[in-house]
């Protein structure tokens, strides 16, 4: 029984399920992870493991360095009443389903890893800020030595392993022009910004011409915000546009920046931090260990390439070790208003991770 979480099925009857419901019930959007991190650290302490909160806010439970289990504590904004329902016709599930923000992305994978780490003694880190700037993962890379292997926690489904993610690079375009009468034909800053974005979209479309539309091998251009207008003193018109670009393995953040910069006629682009794409080998030791765990649990493992970006990309780029991603949950429910996780899938993922960690630490 978890306080404040309706559970007419009585399904929250194991330590893992209880911890999952407790953490889903604690608001933990990016920048506000402290309460959830403290609760997670307490779980490790209760089970005889050293655990601490580092300078970035990450939960660190050192252990056997044969493998590092790591997922993120933070979630995206959005309130979903936390509850357990019996069955889910849409998901084709009989039995209890936990609803709540983060149940899939990525508190479900996070808690499955915490339980497996306690069971097997492997190293564990719950990182902060994955949904925004990956500050937790970036701090971790600087603050500790590389483990022998990494299993990163994101929803793949209990019987699938994610081997690939696109990278990401973001930038803000800014331009200003002298103010003039609206009857004049000269383009102002807002015109320049919209024209630049049209050129960028055309260039991205041309770069994607020979690949499957919207797939893993495409560059994706997204405008995330736009602002513009006359300055307070009336002297200039300014415009700015924040943008993000997903980077396929055929490209690099640098090559995408060059593509976008070539579209500039006026103004400039200020580029932020980037994350490179990742394609991991299916023959790596953690991939093989997870496949064994899935088969032992009665599943037939599959491999995924996902169009998003994860902290796994950073670990693979910084550490010369094998990195794969795994976790319970349907990724189609990431960030969704109906985010929910069948508890039977969570249980299977705990079993798979425990088997994989036992194999990696032999």
CB 151 within 8 Å of CB 356: yes
Find the catalytic residue in 74, 311, 339, 347: 74
Going by pLDDT thresholds of 50, 70 and 90, the confidence category of residue 87 is very high
Catalytic pick among 130, 154, 251, 339: 130
Alpha-carbon distance of 241 to 243, in angstroms, equals 6
230 DSSP β-pair partners? 237
Tell me whether residue 345 is one of the annotated catalytic residues: no
Structure confidence at residue 281 as a pLDDT band (50, 70, 90): very high
pLDDT value of position 180: 74
Decide if pLDDT at 3 tops 90.
no
Rounded to an integer, the average pLDDT of 45-53 is: 97
**pLDDT given for residue 249 in this prediction:** 96
Looking at residues 234-242, what average pLDDT do you find? 94
Is residue 231 very low, low, confident or very high in pLDDT (cuts 50, 70, 90)?
confident
Domains of the chain listed by start with CATH number: 15-166+278-361 (3.40.630.10), 167-275 (3.30.70.360)
CA–CA gap between residue 37 and residue 28 (Å, rounded): 9
Q: Are 313 and 167 in contact (CB under 8 A)?
A: yes
Beta carbons of 82 and 131 less than 8 angstroms apart: no
pLDDT bracket for residue 1 (50, 70, 90): low
How confident is residue 349, by pLDDT bands cut at 50, 70 and 90? very high
pTM: 0.94
For residues 253 and 272, the answer to whether their CB atoms sit within 8 Å is: no
In degrees, rounded to 5, the angle at the alpha carbon of residue 206 between the alpha carbons of residues 204 and 207 is 65
Q: Is 362 tagged catalytic?
A: no
């Amino acid at each position: 029984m978890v306080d404040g979480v309706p559970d007419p099925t009585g399904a929250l009857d194991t330590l893992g399920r209880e911890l999952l419901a407790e953490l889903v019930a604690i608001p933990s959007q990016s920048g506000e992870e402290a309460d959830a991190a403290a609760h997670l650290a307490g779980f490790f302490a209760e089970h005889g493991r050293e655990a601490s909160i580092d300078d970035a806010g990450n939960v660190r439970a050192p252990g056997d360095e044969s493998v590092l289990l790591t997922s993120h504590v933070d979630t995206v904004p959005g309130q979903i009443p936390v509850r357990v329902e019996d069955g889910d016709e849409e998901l084709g599930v009989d039995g209890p389903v936990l609803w709540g923000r983060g149940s899939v992305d990525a508190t479900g994978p996070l808690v499955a890893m915490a339980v497996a780490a306690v069971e097997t003694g492997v190293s564990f880190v719950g990182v902060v800020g994955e949904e925004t700037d990956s500050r937790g993962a970036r701090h971790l890379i600087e603050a500790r030595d590389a483990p022998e292997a990494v299993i990163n926690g994101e929803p793949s489904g209990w019987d699938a392993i994610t081997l690939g993610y696109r990278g990401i690079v973001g930038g803000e375009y800014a331009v200003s022009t002298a103010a003039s009468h609206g009857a004049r034909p000269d383009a102002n800053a807002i015109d320049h910004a919209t024209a630049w974005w049209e050129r960028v979209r055309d260039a991205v479309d041309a770069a994607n011409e020979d690949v499957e539309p919207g797939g893993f091998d495409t560059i994706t251009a997204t405008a995330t915000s736009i602002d513009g207008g006359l300055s307070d003193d009336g002297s200039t018109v300014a415009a700015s546009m924040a943008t993000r670009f997903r980077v396929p393995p055929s490209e690099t953040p640098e090559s995408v920046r060059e593509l976008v910069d070539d579209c500039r006629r006026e103004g400039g682009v200020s580029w932020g931090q980037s994350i490179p794409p990742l394609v991991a080998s299916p023959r790596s030791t953690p991939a093989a260990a997870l496949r064994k765990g899935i088969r032992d649990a009665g599943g037939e493992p599959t491999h995924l390439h996902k169009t998003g970006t994860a902290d796994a990309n950073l670990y693979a780029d910084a550490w010369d070790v094998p990195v794969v991603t795994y976790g319970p949950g349907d990724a189609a429910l990431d960030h969704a208003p109906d985010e929910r996780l069948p508890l039977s899938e969570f249980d299977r993922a705990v079993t798979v991770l425990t088997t994989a960690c036992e194999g990696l630490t032999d």
